[in-house]
Amino acid sequence: MRADAIVFAVAGALFGVIVGWILGSQQAGGSPPSAVAAPVTATASTPAPAAGGGTPVVLDQNRVEALRAVAAEDPKNAQPRVDLGNMYFDAELYTDAIRWYEEAIAINPRDPNVSTDLGVAYYYTNQPARAVTQFEHSLEVDPAHTKTMLNMGIVKAFGQQDLAGAVAAWQQVVALAPDSPEGQAARKALDGMQQAHPTVPDGGGQ
């Protein structure tokens, strides 16, 4: 997934909002990390920050055209569509990324990485409810997909203001993989939530 950028790039903004991180998962098979969107907006109506937090990657039009040709020649091949989605995501062209991720998922709906990347792209186009639904699909495919859970918490907290739901998602991450980068990020998010909202049920994950 493209999402490595999500968790770590968004961490600063996320924790800053909590007291006063979406994570991306590595694409299976060694392809470039796919951006799993780490939603870090304060409200659903506020545009989400750039996934990478910096200058978008310049789109390689030659590569795009080559991948489009492969996709057109083989309508049952998900990989060129995933690659196109990743390229558009990196260029912060999220609507285009959504198109290709959706085509890839239609071919292979059992890929939790692509599904989560699609959810992140939905979030970055101010569609938090669709993002959550897509994350739920990812977790149906892989109930232990901690990167999805981490992103779920971010979207619930900042896209839907569902603080209890965010806490529950982050607690799952900590319970499943406490020493992983995702687990450490979730623990920090829980600590920040406890400081900012001590009345949220189980806010500290205690």
> If you average pLDDT over residues 184-194, what whole number do you get?
89
Contact 89, 108 (CB under 8 A): no
Instruction: Please give the Cα distance from 147 to 23 (Å, whole number).
Output: 6
Look-up of token digits 């961490």: 11
State yes or no: pLDDT of 75 exceeds 60. Answer: yes
Q: Which residues pair with 2 in a beta bridge?
A: 34
Both structure tokens of 186: 């979730």
State yes or no: pLDDT of 41 exceeds 60. Answer: no
With 0-12 / 13-18 / 19 or more C-beta atoms within 10 angstroms meaning exposed / middle / buried, residue 2 is: buried
Find the DSSP H helices in 108-180. 112-124, 128-141, 146-154, 163-176
> pLDDT grade, residue 125 (50/70/90)?
very high
State yes or no: pLDDT of 109 exceeds 80. Answer: yes
pLDDT digits (tens, 9 = 90+) for 90-106: 999 999 999 999 999 99
Report the topology of domain 4-54+108-196. Answer: 1.25.40
pTM for the whole thing?
Answer: 0.78
Enumerate residues 6+ apart whose C-beta is below 8 A from 121. 35, 37, 85, 89, 94, 97, 98, 101
Kind plus residue range of the DSSP H or E element containing 83:
helix 79-90
Look-up of token digits 């400081």: 195
State yes or no: pLDDT of 74 exceeds 60. Answer: yes
> pLDDT grade, residue 42 (50/70/90)?
very low
Note the pLDDT of residue 35.
34
Note the pLDDT of residue 14.
53
Both structure tokens of 1: 């997934």
Note the pLDDT of residue 1.
58
> If you average pLDDT over residues 117-142, what whole number do you get?
96
> If you average pLDDT over residues 116-143, what whole number do you get?
96
Note the pLDDT of residue 17.
46
Least confident of 48-62, 125-139, 178-192: 48-62
Enumerate residues 6+ apart whose C-beta is below 8 A from 202. 164, 167, 168, 171
Q: Helix 163-176 crosses helix 181-196 at what angle (to 10 degrees)?
A: 150
Domain ranges of the chain: 4-54+108-196
